[in-house]
Each structure stands twice: as structure tokens, then as C-alpha cells.
Chain A
Amino acid sequence: MNMLTDFPISLIVLCSGLCLILLGLWGMLTQRNLIRIIIGFSLMDTGIHMVMVSIGYVTGGTAPIINDAVAMNEAVNRVVDPVPSALVLTAIVIGLGVTAVMLSFAVRIHKTRKTLMIDKLTESKW
């Protein structure tokens, strides 16, 4: 058992992704500043994207572009799964959209409330 099969490359990405998710969640839950919370969200989002990409990896695969580099007939054994790549593309864009909206919330809150501290925003409860 060498290190590579014991600890395959995609697992490294997966683990890093999962760690990023935890880090992001930690940030979202403990940081009081809205901007930091948004950064936490971005971290988490990125972590998820990494997890997604890692899932699509096939041992020894290359990019799923069937051209001169990868012949059509043997492509099945040589490329990584294109689906997670496609999904992650979409997920990134969605994450971007959410981040943008969150940021504009933060901006507006700062404008009207002159604060970015989330524990100051607790007037509606119960």
C-alpha cells in the first residue's frame, strides 16, 4: 500500500472541502460582524464546491474534453466525470448570487442601522 492509494488525491480535496465547510460554519456561527458571516458563508460554499469536484474525480482521469488529446473511443476510461464539473459551475454561480444578495443586505443594514453586529439585530423575537 503506497501513500497514493491509501490516501487518494480526491480524498485530500474532499477532506479539505469538508474542513472548509466546518470553518465556514464556525465563522457564520461565531462571528458577529455581518461581513465576516458572509465570508464564513463563502468559505462554506467553496468547501462544498471542492467536495463536489472531488466526487467527480476518477482515478487517473483527465479533463473531459474529447479532442486530439483524448480519443473518443477510449475516452470512457480516461476522463473524469463531467457531471460534477457541470454542477459545480452552476453551484458557484448560485453561491455568487446569494453572496451578492447577502452583501447588499449587509450594506443596507449598515446604512439604516449603523451597525454590522448581528446581535444588535434582535428586535423581532418570540
Chain B
Amino acid sequence: MIKRLFIFMILALMAVIFFNLASNYTENTSLSKLGHYYVEKGPLEIGAPNLVTAVVVTYRGLDTLGEVTVLFISAAGVGLLLRRSRRKQDIDSQDRDNRAEESKNSHKPASEIVETATELLLPMIILFGIYVFMNGHLSPGGGFQGGAIIASGTMFLLLALPESHISRLMIAITESLSGFSYVVVGVLGVIMAGGFLDNRFMDLGTYGELFSAGAIPLIYTFVGLKVGFELSAVLDRFRQYDQNEDTDSV
């Protein structure tokens, strides 16, 4: 109880600090230096109407590459954490049967309505995801958002059909290749344009069209695929660990 009180006091002090922040905050009435530059020059330099995209993909492309990396390593980390140790396999195999029994009981097979709906909706969700990342430079959205939508499709699938199989191999290949391609695109930027991750080594095209803004659609495609598959992989890991039926340990 004393501990709680103490925590409360510390957080109260934090609150005082935050109050200081908020009370001294005044809303911006004009853009910051950076923002001003991006809004003014961005459309012409990068050729993407969606300035957030321009910032994300090009101006702060290294961030985005890092972000992709973060996601990649979280997926790998989750995989690593939730792998089945070889040592424990023997022990586990003893009670595997019991567990399998239990899991069958706990996961009731989905009803036909759900199954049908899934089959119907899933392609649409994925298609929507692709739309979102392909149009990232034009409208709100982008690789991450699109990827997330695709992953939500996977989530949907896993909820509706817990027994469905997701190909690890496919995930791995897509993940790796799209990631690698992203890096290659970045390097192409150095060689053929102004710097690493410069999107302008491809033609900027017509402002506002789908295939414009240089390599942004390309990059967003890779990002979208990568994000989608990685998030799917994470979800899949949790499911498999939960079900304890995984025999495949990467």
C-alpha cells in the first residue's frame, strides 16, 4: 500500500510536469521549418501529393527502412521467443496428445456462415490493402497501412478458421525478397540519383497519377507486402504457440 502511495506520488509529480508542458503549450499557427519546406517543395521535388508519404518514403526514408527493420526483427524475435525448443520437445510430446484433445474441445469449428463470409471477404480485404499501399503517394494510406489491412485479413482468417495453414515458406520468401528489394531500391537511389533511398531515379511521371512520384509506389509495394506478411507471421506464431501443435521449428 505504501508502495502504491509512493507510485502515486511519483506519478503525481509526473502529472505536475505534464501540466507544465500543457500549460506552456500554444498551438502552432504556422508550419515548422521542416514542415514549411516539405509543403512548399515536396510536391515538386518528390512528386507525391500526399506529403506524409513524401516525408515517410523519401525525406525520412531511412526512418522507414528502419521501421521496416523493426517490424522484421520483431517478427523474427517473436518467432525466436515462441519457437519450440528441441530440448523440450520430448517432454512436450508426452502431453501433446492431451493438449491436442483440449484444443480441439476449446476451438469449436466455425459455422458455415463464418466460413463462407471469410472466403468472400478475405480477397476483398487483401485487395483493399493492396489498393491502400499502391495509392499511398496520392491519398491517405501507404505501405504500413496497406500491410496492416492485409494482416487484418490474416487475423480474420485465423479467427474464423483456426486450423487453416499459412505457408511459412511463402512468408519467408516474400518477407526476405521484399525487404532485400527495398534495400536494392535504396542503393539504386545512390547510384542513379541523389542519395540513398532517393525515389527520383525513376521518372517522377505526371503529378497525381498512380504511376508517378518515382519509386514511391514501388517502395510502398515492398513495404506493404513486407508489413502484411510480417504481421501475418506474428499472428501465426501466436496462434501456433497457443495451439501447441507446431512441429515445424524454423
A→B interface (CB under 8 Å): 8-11, 14-15, 18, 21-22, 25-26, 29-30, 55-59, 63-67, 72, 75-77, 79-83, 85-87, 89-90, 92-94, 96-98, 100-101, 103-105, 107-108, 111
| A30 touches which of B7, B67, B75, B242 (Cβ 8 Å) | B7
| A104 touches which of B73, B142, B237 (Cβ 8 Å) | B237
Contact B52 A76 (CB under 8 A): no
In the complex the two chains form, what is the Cα distance from A77 to B35 in whole Å?
Answer: 11
Contact B49 A105 (CB under 8 A): no
In the complex the two chains form, what is the Cα distance from A90 to B143 in whole Å?
Answer: 11
Contact A58 B31 (CB under 8 A): yes
What is the size, in residues, of chain B's interface with A at 8 Å between Cβ atoms?
Answer: 59
Contact A14 B25 (CB under 8 A): yes
In the complex the two chains form, what is the Cα distance from A15 to B180 in whole Å?
Answer: 41
Mark B1-38 against chain A: 1 for CB-CB distance below 8 A, else 0.
00010010001001100100110011111111011101
Considering only residues 57-73 of chain B, those with a C-beta below 8 Å from chain A are 59-60, 63-64, 66-67, 70-71, 73
Which residues of chain A are within 8 angstroms of B28 by Cβ–Cβ distance? Answer: 10, 55-59, 81
Which residues of chain B are within 8 angstroms of A76 by Cβ–Cβ distance? Answer: 31, 36, 39-40
Q: Is the CB of B55 closer than 8 A to any CB of chain A?
A: yes
Contact A82 B38 (CB under 8 A): yes
In the complex the two chains form, what is the Cα distance from A99 to B140 in whole Å?
Answer: 25
Given the interface pairs A65-B139, A90-B63, A93-B144, the reply to whether A104 lies near B55 with Cβ below 8 Å is: no
- Taking A66-B39, A89-B142 as known contacts, 5 extra A-B pairs with beta carbons closer than 8 A to each other, sorted by chain A number, are A29-B7, A29-B11, A76-B31, A76-B40, A86-B52
Contact A26 B74 (CB under 8 A): no
A sample of 9 cross-chain residue pairs with beta-carbon separation below 8 angstroms, ordered by A number, consists of A58-B29, A64-B50, A65-B52, A75-B39, A76-B40, A82-B38, A82-B42, A94-B67, A100-B234
Contact A66 B7 (CB under 8 A): no
Instruction: Kindly specify which of B77-85, B100-108, B160-168, B198-206 makes contact with the partner chain.
Output: B77-85
Contact A58 B30 (CB under 8 A): yes
Interface centre among B39, B55, B63, B67 (most CB of A within 10 A): B39
Q: Is the CB of B132 closer than 8 A to any CB of chain A?
A: no
Question: Closest chain B residue to A68 by CB distance?
Answer: B208
Given the interface pairs A22-B14, A82-B54, the reply to whether A96 lies near B74 with Cβ below 8 Å is: yes
CB distance from B77 to the nearest CB of A (A): 5
Q: Is the CB of B56 closer than 8 A to any CB of chain A?
A: yes
Q: Is the CB of B43 closer than 8 A to any CB of chain A?
A: yes
Question: Closest chain B residue to A85 by CB distance?
Answer: B52
Contact B50 A65 (CB under 8 A): yes
Which residues of chain B are within 8 angstroms of A104 by Cβ–Cβ distance? Answer: 77-78, 81-82, 237-238, 241
Contact B60 A86 (CB under 8 A): yes
Which residues of chain A are within 8 angstroms of B34 by Cβ–Cβ distance? Answer: 81, 83
Please provide the 8 A-B residue pairs with the shortest distance between their CB atoms, ordered closest to farther.
A97-B74, A81-B35, A86-B55, A64-B51, A104-B81, A82-B51, A8-B27, A18-B18
CB distance from B239 to the nearest CB of A (A): 11
Given the interface pairs A67-B138, A97-B74, the reply to whether A107 lies near B55 with Cβ below 8 Å is: no
CB distance from A115 to the nearest CB of B (A): 17
